């Protein structure tokens, strides 16, 4: 489970709309992104998450909890745009694994 991974200090990456579930999955505050959608960001904040606006080609890293998020198709107009942020996310997960 996610809690087991966190307890073991394992980094986790969440893409597209998946980060919106994190405040319900974890019982602690964390920084995350779903991009720039104001309505979804407000819901994330209402559930206890700290939403950070983020462009499609970037990531948000919650260093304390080793959680990395990227908006992907919440903003992407094509696969190349989504890939830019997803590749950064995977790279950061690998760095935090070391």
Q: Which residues are catalytic?
A: 16
Instruction: Return d(Cα 88, Cα 8) in angstroms, integer.
Output: 23
Instruction: Return d(Cα 86, Cα 3) in angstroms, integer.
Output: 23
- DSSP conformational letter for 60: E
């Amino acid at each position: 489970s996610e809690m087991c991974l966190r307890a073991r200090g394992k980094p986790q990456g969440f893409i597209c709309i998946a980060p919106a579930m994190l405040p319900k999955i974890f019982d602690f505050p964390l920084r995350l992104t779903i991009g720039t959608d104001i309505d979804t960001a407000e819901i994330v904040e209402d559930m206890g998450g700290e939403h950070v606006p983020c462009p499609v080609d970037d990531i948000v890293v919650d260093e304390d909890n080793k959680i990395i998020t990227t908006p992907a198709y919440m903003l992407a107009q094509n696969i190349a745009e989504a890939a830019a942020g997803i590749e950064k996310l995977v790279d950061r997960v690998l760095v935090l694994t070391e």
